[in-house]
Structure 1
Amino acid sequence: KTCALKEGGCISSWLVLVQMLWKLFGPGIIERDETPMEKEIAGLHRMEFQFSDIFYFCRKGFEAIVEDEVTQRFSSEELVSWNLLTRTNVNFHYISLRLTVVWVIGVIVRYCFLLPLRFTLAAIGITSMIVGTTLVGQLPNSSVKNYLSEVVHLTCSRILVRALSGTIHYHNRENKPQKGGICVANHTSPIDAIILTNDGCYAMVGQVHGGLMGVIQRATVKACPHVWFERSEIKDRHLVTKRLREHVANKSKLPILIFPEGTCINNTSVMMFKKGSFEIGGTIYPVAIKYDPQFGDAFWNSSKYNIVSYLLRIMTSWAIVCNVWYMPPMVRKEGEDAVQFANRVRSAIAHQGGLAELPWDGGLKRAKVKDSFKEEQQKNYSKMLVRNGSIGSLPTGTESD
């Protein structure tokens, strides 16, 4: 009772209790277990349920409460060492006087010298993008309009990259997306599009935004056949699919740029790719993007930052450093459905970028877990409790229940 009066006291007491019980009945101390569920199931050969089996479920439950592998991908990446920027670990506030002095000098340099220069370049780039695409959009459809549109997009994107002090390393440029194809990349930030457009033009597909981002979207769509849609309107999705099919069928149009995760992930992993992008047909050009967090955190937490505060945060960082890998084109194999194709492309991007591959839907950032996911985990747990020897004696359907 005394422990319960303190914040977190009960949880600490339960952890201590479970640890003591595990030492008595379990194989050793409690530690994070990365063994997949399938291997856990295969490793259990006993034919009857034992009381000690409950400790496995207790351990999994506490792991999910303390730190699950999904929600931590929607917050800034935890750094191994401090990069003299905003700390991502609130437990460390002071290390030494010398380091504090260096940090103060860095604040003066970043806010008093770099920020005004970067803000000026960003204002020039954004204004040029809006004005240039609006003017080009007034021209009739022709090869001249397409050429001018590419010039405006490339020029303004390169100005904006300079405004971020961007240092980008492009690898395997012989695999750059070609016209009539679909460029698929992992998604960390809205500046992913600028990073890629800095090296070539794309027709982009994405969600409609408000504010400054919305102004840019409405201006650029006049000069280039970008596809913007409302996430909440299902009718728009069917229209998007139709427009994408028509776009891919025309081999003279710019490659489409799609971020199939549907949301920004914090530069540590790649989550489930939506299958819609892989049902269109055509050639897929995978691209892996990996930022270096030591120089600046490029992750955009849409639930915490708007576009203005986000730009302020990254323009007061040291720089935006990243690597971009153009990967060999991929096509859908015979007998392969859209989900399998999407998973194969996701695995290739994760492997190339050194990112963790997670099967979870990025939509969990905004929505609750689907009942189908819960039922799948329940079935896995039931297989661990109901052994092969006792299944035959149970009524049909008991296992899945």
Structure 2
Amino acid sequence: MEGADLAGKILSTWLTVVIGLILLPSAFGVSLGISELYMKILVKTLEWAALRIEKGVPKESVLKNSAPVGIIQRDESPMEKGLSGLRGSGFELSDVFYFSKKGLEAIVEDEVTQRFSSEELVSWNLLTRTNVNFQYISLRLTMVWVLGVIVRYCVLLPLRFKNWLSELVHLTCCRICVRALSGVIRYHKRQYRPQKGGICVANHTSPLDVFILATDGCYTMVGQANGGLMGIIQRAMVKACPHIWFERSEIKDRHLVTKRLREHIADKKKLPILIFPEGTCINNTSVMMFKKGSFEIGGTIHPVAIKYNPQFGDVFWNSGKYSMVNYLLRIMTSWGIVCDVWYLPPMTRQEGEDAVRFANRVKSAIAVQGGLTELSWDGDLKRAKVKDIFKEEQQKNYSKMIAGNGSLNSQLG
């Protein structure tokens, strides 16, 4: 318990520092001067290193080693050493080679060609790019160089690329967004939270479903590429995490998505995939048909049921009626977002069970847990009209029924 309390205090202190030094200043456009202070310390350190180099190396050696080095490395030849004696001696045919060499060097390494090689620094910057090994001048300078290596590789590199830090920032941002909407979320059965290398499937009511789930874990999302404000958000999200956006109308793209999903779940170190198999937002009362594509991939399915409390605001997004901007305005002017999230035990495809039956079994489990009505209709009917063929079949059946009733009446008469 003491270890857990200590870890909790360290985490809360770290979050307070991040919020106080990074998030809040960024939100208000205020600079605390930390980066400027870091740069000043770095400049002072490099200036000190330059002074140590000047004291430890003769000026002739420094000037020679610091001379601009381009693409061509010019080694002094015996001919160049004896160039001063050329005027006093007789002309030889081999003398032409020296001037030809100099001319070719001037053509190849001109002021443009030199711009394609790394810029040489006047003084060493404690990095390993400079050709001159200045770090061996003195023991004190070598210790500073070693300390710089430790800082760059053990502090700066993990802070910039560490996965856990990225996930922590992701969780923090989502929690800020939910709390800004006065969100109150109750998570149940957290021992069944989706694991890495798995697939999380949930009923879909609102775009907020993503933020609701992302406040309790990180996911790789799969969905339809949108335009407008939603498209801007999606393009920004994919820069931070390898989400998969696709066009439903392109069948080739759907095959590509299936391939990418299988490759994703094959790596147990990758984040779980978040999929809404209904394919569209359904109001907070029902669960409609789960498309089988998500259940043909294989792997472990982690069902999640989401149920909103409509008393505080209507979170359902009717994309055919309201734009994303209009919807966000309605959400931000509601009283708050209150919902329950149930994590269900993981499910796998049974032997002899096809993808459709597996999808229906998962859908039934979500509907029962969330207290939602289970329907077998396709959610795409929200965007598309019922097919004319289906209407014609209904009319034919109705006509047959009327004809049958007429024949029965005549027989009874």
- Fold similarity call, TM over 0.5: yes
In the other structure, the counterpart of 2:301 is 284
The 1:356–1:281 alpha-carbon spacing in structure 2 relative to 1, beyond 3 Å, is same
How far is the alpha carbon of 1:207 from its aligned partner? 0.9
Please tell me whether the aligned partners of residues 181 and 285 of structure 1 are also in contact (alpha carbons under 8 angstroms): yes
Residue 223 of structure 1: aligned partner: 240
TM-score (normalizing by structure 1): 0.58
Q: Structure 1 385/145 Cα, relative in aligned 2: closer, same or farther at 3 Å?
A: farther
Among candidates 143, 148, 158, match of residue 175 of structure 2: 158
- Equivalent residue number for residue 365 of structure 2: 348
Unaligned stretches of 5+ in structure 1?
Answer: 1-120, 126-138, 391-401
Aligned to 1:295: 312
Identity of aligned residues (%): 79
Residues 253-295 of structure 1, C-alpha deviations (whole Å, 9 max, x = no match) = 0000000000000101000000000000000000000000001
Which residue does the alignment assign to 1:195?
Answer: 212
Larger gyration radius, structure 1 or structure 2: 2
Return the structure number with greater relative CO, CA threshold 8 A, min gap 6: 1
Task: Say which SS state the counterpart of residue 369 (structure 1) adopts.
Answer: coil
The secondary structure found in structure 2 opposite 1:179 is coil
Q: Is 2:234 the partner of 1:178?
A: no
TM-score by length of 2: 0.57
Question: Structure 1 pair 343/165, CA: closer, same or farther in 2 (3 Å)?
Answer: same
Alpha-carbon separation, structure 2, partners of 1:228 and 1:183: 16
**Correspondence list, 1:11-30, <5 A:** none
The separation in 1 between residues aligned to 2:266 and 2:387, in whole angstroms, is 35
Q: Once superposed, which parts of structure 1, at least 4 consecutive aligned residues long, lie more than 4 Å away?
A: 139-143, 370-387
Which amino acid in 2 is paired with 1:151?
A: L
> How do residues 47-86 of structure 1 correspond to structure 2 at under 5 angstroms?
none
Q: Which residue does 1:272 correspond to in 2?
A: 289
Task: Report Cα offsets for 1:308-362 as digits up to 9, x if no partner.
Answer: 2111111111110000000001111111100110011111111111111111000
Please give the alpha-carbon distance, in whole angstroms, between the structure 1 residues aligned to 2:393 and 2:184. Answer: 44
Listed one character per residue, the Cα deviations across residues 219-277 of structure 1 (whole Å, up to 9, x for unaligned) are 22122111011122222111111100100111110000000000000101000000000
Q: Deviations over 1:172-223 (max 9, x none)?
A: 0000000000000000000100000000000000111222222221122122
Which structure dedicates a bigger proportion of its chain to helix? 2
Q: Which moved more, 1:315-324 or 1:144-153?
A: 144-153
TM-fit CA distance, 1:378: 7.8
1:163 Cα offset (Å):
1.2
Partner of 2:352: 335
Q: Distance in 2 between matches of 1:158 and 1:178?
A: 20
Note if 1:254 corresponds to 2:259. no
Is the 1:282–1:331 Cα contact (8 Å) retained in structure 2? yes
Please say if residues 159 and 165 of structure 2, whose CA atoms lie closer than 8 Å, have aligned partners that are also in contact.
Answer: no
Does 2:222 correspond to 1:205? yes
Distance 2:392 2:367 in 1: 27
Provide the C-alpha distance between the structure 2 equivalents of 1:347 and 1:372, rounded to a whole number of angstroms: 30
Shift in alpha-carbon separation, 1:282–1:315, aligned structure 2, 3 A? same
Per-residue CA deviation, residues 36-86 of structure 1 (Å, 9 max, x unaligned), is xxxxxxxxxxxxxxxxxxxxxxxxxxxxxxxxxxxxxxxxxxxxxxxxxxx
**8 Å contact from structure 1 (residues 146, 224) kept in 2:** no
Once the 2 structures are TM-superposed, how far is the Cα of residue 152 of structure 1 from its aligned partner? 2.3
AA matched with 2:356: V
How far residue 154 of structure 1 moved from its aligned partner, in angstroms, is: 0.5
Q: 1-side partners of 2:188 and 2:388: how far apart?
A: 41
Count the aligned residue pairs: 255
Q: Judging changes above 3 Å, is the alpha-carbon distance between structure 1 residues 140 and 223 closer, same or farther for their aligned structure 2 residues?
A: farther
* Contact map agreement 1:206 1:229 (CA 8 A) in 2: yes
Instruction: Tell me how far 1:369 sits from its aligned partner.
Output: 2.4
**SS of aligned partner of 2:311:** coil
Aligned residues: CA RMSD: 3.1
